[in-house]
């Protein structure tokens, strides 16, 4: 077998392998949210201890309830089949800094840690609201051992 024939066979094999991978690929919008047993859609994903909130965190809870809780659930517990919990190690300050929350609220975010689909931008949210929401989420995280 000459080198051109070997090269041709290799190219065909790679093309076939690539086609197989592509045919099995699903974008984040096509993949269902991770199953949580037989839990119904909308059920809380995590349990959260809620600390006494003061100052910016207390204001943030109000803003969170108005702008975020519909998807992320009361006290950021997430909802099966809807959106992830924000009281989770993935969203700890060392992995998702405060600016990540601001950018997600402003611009939306592509699904990358979870398979809930992409998050759209939050309509009408201000930077000040996001700052207070982050204070609230960080207070919840800290009360639940996420630092």
84: burial class by Cβ within 10 Å (0-12, 13-18, 19+)? buried
pLDDT given for residue 4 in this prediction: 59
pLDDT given for residue 87 in this prediction: 97
pLDDT given for residue 10 in this prediction: 45
Asked if residue 33 lies in contact with residue 119, where contact means CB atoms within 8 angstroms, the answer is no
- List per-block mean pLDDT (blocks of 10 residues) for the chain, which spans 147 residues: 57 40 34 54 95 98 98 97 96 95 96 93 97 98 96
pLDDT given for residue 6 in this prediction: 59
Question: Considering the entire predicted model, what is its pTM?
Answer: 0.74
pLDDT given for residue 30 in this prediction: 32
Between the alpha carbon of residue 134 and those of residues 1, 122, 137, the distances in Å are 64, 14, 5
What is the C-alpha separation between 96 and 90, in angstroms, rounded? 7
Instruction: Go through the chain and tell me how many residues it has.
Output: 147
What is the C-alpha separation between 143 and 123, in angstroms, rounded? 29
CA nearest 92: which of 135, 52, 138?
138
């Amino acid at each position: 077998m000459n080198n051109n024939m070997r090269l041709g066979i290799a190219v065909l094999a790679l093309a076939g392998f690539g086609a197989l991978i592509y045919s099995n690929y699903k974008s984040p919008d096509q993949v269902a949210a991770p199953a949580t047993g037989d839990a119904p859609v909308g059920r809380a994903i995590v349990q959260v201890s809620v600390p006494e909130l003061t100052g910016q965190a207390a204001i943030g809870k109000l803003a969170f309830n108005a702008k975020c809780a519909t998807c992320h659930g009361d006290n950021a517990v997430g909802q099966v089949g809807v959106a992830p919990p924000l009281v989770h190690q993935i969203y700890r300050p060392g992995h998702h800094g405060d600016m990540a929350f601001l950018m997600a609220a402003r611009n939306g975010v592509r699904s990358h840690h979870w398979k809930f689909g992409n998050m759209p931008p939050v309509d009408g949210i201000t930077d000040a609201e996001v700052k207070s929401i982050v204070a609230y989420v960080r207070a919840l995280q800290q009360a639940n051992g996420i630092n």
